[in-house]
Amino acid sequence: MGLLDSVLGAVMNNNQPANANAGAGGLGGLMGMLANNPQLISIAMGMLSNDGTQGGLGGLVSKFQQAGLGGAMSSWIGGGPNQAVSGEQITSALGTDAVADIAGKLGVQPGEAAGQLSSLLPDLINQLTPAGKMPDQGLGNGADLMGMLGGLLQAR
């Protein structure tokens, strides 16, 4: 958890209150979520990493396409506005077992976990794909992703 602590330190050193920009989208919203719920960010980064539970970004794209949500995922990766998804749609894409596992790690009900992911994933994926396309080799392993997120937050 040391890398996550480093990223959190970068956020806190910006002298922002923990809930600053918490309701906002984009990087400000991510900063608020990171400060308020680091466990959720850690889980999401684990999902997006090439060595993660969902097969990385490519695996998530496939799951969202199979659930009829390919357009939403494309909007998160692309340069335009992010299409919103519901918690039910997240559950449909990831599967009830995966969402239940995430909920257990967060100590919340599955519906709440899916709702939290529906708020986080669009902005997180958008920020991690600034070129507006999915990298051929994925986003990297968990340490690579935490480094990318830390760099984004420090640049703010």
Which pLDDT does position 5 carry in this prediction?
Answer: 45
Written as tens digits, the pLDDT of the chain (156 aa) is 444 444 444 333 433 333 333 334 565 665 666 667 788 888 888 888 888 778 889 999 999 999 999 999 999 998 889 999 999 999 999 999 999 999 999 999 999 999 999 998 998 888 888 878 887 778 777 777 777 766 666 655
Q: Which of 119, 147, 145 is nearest to 33 (CA)?
A: 119
- Distance between alpha carbon 138 and the CA centroid of its chain, in Å? 14
Residue type, 54: Q
Would you mind telling me the total number of residues written for the chain in this entry?
156
Q: Which of 111, 114, 125, 118 is nearest to 59 (CA)?
A: 125
Look up tokens 């097969």; give the residue: 55
d(CA 97, CA 54): 12
Q: Which two tokens stand for residue 138?
A: 């994925």
In CATH terms, the fold of domain 2-155 is: Arc Repressor Mutant, subunit A (1.10.10)
Which pLDDT does position 14 carry in this prediction?
Answer: 39
Q: Which of 73, 98, 92 is nearest to 84 (CA)?
A: 73
Q: What is the DSSP string of 21-58?
A: TTT--HHHHHHHHHHH-HHHHHHHHHHHSTTSTT-HHH
Locate the domains of the chain by residue range.
2-155
d(CA 59, CA 36): 27
How far, in Å, are 35, 63, 81, 106, 109 from residue 76 at the CA level? Answer: 22, 14, 7, 24, 26
d(CA 28, CA 86): 21
